[in-house]
Amino acid sequence: MTTAPSRSADAAAEIPALAEAVERRRNFAIISHPDAGKTTLTEKLLLYGGAIQQAGAVKAKGEQRKVTSDWMELEKQRGISITSTVLQFDYAGSTINLLDTPGHQDFSEDTYRTLAAADNAVMLEDAAKGLEPQTRKLFEVCRLRRIPIFTFINKMDRPGREPLELLDEIEQELGLACWPVNWPIGSGDRFRGVIDRRTHQVVLFQRAERGRQSQERILSAEDAAASGLVEPELLQAALEELELLEGAGADLDLEQVHAGELSPVFFGSAMTNFGVRPFLDAFLELAQRPTARSSSEGPVDPLRPGFSGFVFKLQANMDPRHRDRVAFVRVCSGKFEKDMTVQHARSGRSIRLSRPQKLFGQDREVVDDAYPGDVIGLNNPGMFAIGDTLYVGPKVEYEGIPCFSPEIFAWLRNPNPSAFKSFRKGVNELREEGAVQVLYDTDPSRRDPILAAVGQLQLEVVQYRLEHEYGVKTRLEPMEFTVARWVSGGWPALERVGRIFNCRTVRDAWDRPVLLFRNDWNLNQLREDHPELELSAVAPVVSGVEPIAL
Ligand code: G4P
């Protein structure tokens, strides 16, 4: 008599396939300041993956979009990009997941959360501008998570700052060591290409009309000089600088790269598609594969046979025809399969995932399977919250995603008491989705919520969505605070210090004390008066507790 193979034998048989899928996967997000060229670079990367057929497809804004929701209408009106999407494409035997992030800095909270799902980050700089405020902020988030950072210095076809100066700025200001993988020959009008540091080959930049692609031509340094296309003094200067770098620096240490301590640096011009392919090839070679993630049970290896993942983003009304809500899940271990029944760690419930989706920009299709490093979209009838873990097999619960310090605060008033039910539903759902943070007065009789955001536009989107999706017109009453700090020891720690001045105490959605200050000066004053009070700019992660609803 033959017996059916056991489940564990099935699982063991799956491991080589799983290992192969993990080995193929690369996942990254681009961090940059608006206008550095993120959209342009994304588009060129997708062209290599064959994921889009023509330049301009990613930038297609407004009417060209197939699916446009109400608040994407707002994006159209303002010409900004608020939503983030996931773009998956295959290139050179790898499956690449590009976690796209909103372009506008007012939505950086959304970017922070997306970075929690990223294994690598590409820091994109404009060669003329160097480090810019938004890049610095996002870099700090990467640093918190020790995400490997690849640097792409863009717009080399235009006059820019000295390459050595740009690297020095990164090293000095961010404390991030740099390892140039290629080195530019000349700059601006006299930009002639780059030298690959490892092969010493020259990739020639051929100037084309604006918007046209530079054809790729690779030569040895001698041939480049002989070709007459590169002025000998420029080539000589670049080779000398390379020599200097080699004299000063050690080898490219992958361990340091993966620990987020050393950044491979590339020079190029996304608009002319110069340096993008060499960057992509080197990135595939050097980037971190999906790795073990911290959880309540210690690090979880991606090769753990049971599926597990966490929700890093919620988005409502992506498709206004269905009024749906989607939870984006980063797969961390095992193979995910359609129709799988998984455990929801926070509630302890079992859920069958019958219509998981793969998202590509605004398009979606039902996905049959997914592997660590991938992102899937799940329909979310209000069950999932940001940070929730889903798993199969022995229980795991991933570390939650912290909330970052908001900088803008306003009372949200509902002038029409008969609309209170819709108001409450809207505020609760938008908070769950992470569209905005919600704080409450310590006096329970003052029921109006305080909205706390990173940027003003975030508040506008909340008001707009409350009106268009929930049918409630609201009024915002700005508060004069600009800084929020969580009290590490909670209410008891706050009670121990007694009365405090020049700040306002409020509660967050988990009933934890948050102090609001007008400015850093007031914050520093409190620190001086009460050095024993431990304050944090990042909200401690909560798990297993239901938030306060309005
Ligand atoms: P973002 O998503 O980071 O905000 O930047 P985006 O790609 O939209 O690029 C911002 C501007 O910089 C665009 O010009 C784009 O064409 C230009 N740009 C991007 N990469 C390069 C580059 O390598 N070299 C040069 N010279 N320019 C580059 P725009 O005038 O705002 O838009 P468009 O008219 O070109 O579409």
Tens digit of each residue's pLDDT (9 = 90 or more) over 56-115 = 445 444 333 333 334 455 555 554 444 546 788 899 999 999 987 765 666 677 788 889
Please tell me the distance from the alpha carbon of residue 441 to that of residue 353, in angstroms, as a whole number.
38
CATH architecture entry for 403-539: 2-Layer Sandwich (3.30)
What does 130-199 look like in DSSP terms, one character per residue? BS-HHHHHHHHHHHHTT--EEEEEE-TTS----HHHHHHHIIIII--EEEESEEEES-GGG--EEEETTT
Residue 143 · residue 538 · CB < 8 Å = no
Interval between CA 81 and ligand 1 midpoint (Å): 15
Residue 439 · residue 481 · CB < 8 Å = no
State which amino acid sits at residue 102.
Answer: P
What pLDDT does residue 435 have?
83
Interval between CA 40 and ligand 1 midpoint (Å): 6
Instruction: Give 407: exposed, middle or buried? Use CB within 10 Å, 0-12, 13-18, 19+.
Output: middle
Report the Cα 247 to chain-centroid distance in Å. Answer: 35
What pLDDT does residue 546 have?
67
Interval between CA 24 and ligand 1 midpoint (Å): 31
The helix or strand, by DSSP H or E, that contains position 426, with its residue range, turns out to be helix 420-433
CATH of 7-286, one of 3.30.70.2860, 3.40.50.300, 3.40.50.970, 3.40.50.1370: 3.40.50.300
State which amino acid sits at residue 409.
Answer: F
Residue nearest to atom 16 of ligand 1 (CA): 271
Q: How far is CA 229 from CA 49, 207, 322, 464, in A?
A: 30, 11, 57, 55
Interval between CA 117 and ligand 1 midpoint (Å): 27
Report the SS3 class of residue 348.
Answer: coil
Interval between CA 161 and ligand 1 midpoint (Å): 18
State which amino acid sits at residue 208.
Answer: A
Tens digit of pLDDT at every position of the chain (550 positions): 344 444 455 555 667 899 999 999 999 999 999 899 988 898 888 888 776 555 444 544 433 333 333 445 555 555 444 454 678 889 999 999 998 776 566 667 778 888 999 999 999 999 999 999 889 988 988 998 899 999 999 999 999 999 999 999 999 999 999 999 999 999 888 899 999 998 889 998 887 655 556 677 888 888 888 888 889 999 999 999 998 888 876 789 999 999 999 999 999 999 888 899 999 999 999 999 999 999 988 999 999 989 999 999 887 765 555 566 788 899 999 999 989 999 999 889 999 987 777 665 556 677 889 999 999 888 877 788 888 999 999 999 998 787 778 899 999 999 999 999 999 999 998 888 888 899 999 988 888 999 999 888 889 989 998 998 899 999 999 999 999 999 989 999 999 999 998 999 999 988 899 999 999 999 999 999 999 999 988 776 665 566 677 7
What pLDDT does residue 40 have?
87
Ligand 1 atom nearest the C-alpha of 210 is 26
Please tell me the distance from the alpha carbon of residue 84 to that of residue 186, in angstroms, as a whole number.
36
Q: Which residues line ligand 1 (CB under 6 A)?
A: 32, 34-40, 103, 154-155, 157-158, 269-271
Q: Which of 33, 35, 81, 212 to mutate to test the pocket of ligand 1 (most atoms within 8 A of CB)?
A: 35
Interval between CA 209 and ligand 1 midpoint (Å): 15
| Strand boundaries in 254-305, DSSP class E | 262-267
Structure tokens given for 237:
């200067």
List the CATH code of the domain at 308-391. Answer: 2.40.30.10
What pLDDT does residue 67 have?
30
Report the Cα 433 to chain-centroid distance in Å. Answer: 16
Ligand 1 atom nearest the C-alpha of 43 is 7
| Strand boundaries in 287-353, DSSP class E | 308-316, 325-333, 336-337, 340-344, 349-353
Ligand 1 atom nearest the C-alpha of 40 is 7
What pLDDT does residue 2 have?
40
Ligand 1 atom nearest the C-alpha of 268 is 23
Interval between CA 165 and ligand 1 midpoint (Å): 23
Indicate the domain borders of the chain: 7-286, 308-391, 403-539
What pLDDT does residue 105 have?
65
What pLDDT does residue 47 have?
82
Residue nearest to atom 32 of ligand 1 (CA): 35
Report the SS3 class of residue 352.
Answer: strand
Interval between CA 205 and ligand 1 midpoint (Å): 18
Please tell me the distance from the alpha carbon of residue 65 to that of residue 42, in angstroms, as a whole number.
17
Residue 137 · residue 247 · CB < 8 Å = no
Pairing of strands 149-154, 120-126: parallel
Give the other-Cβ count within 10 Å of 530's Cβ: 16
Q: Which of 38, 40, 81, 107 to mutate to test the pocket of ligand 1 (most atoms within 8 A of CB)?
A: 40
Give the other-Cβ count within 10 Å of 371's Cβ: 21
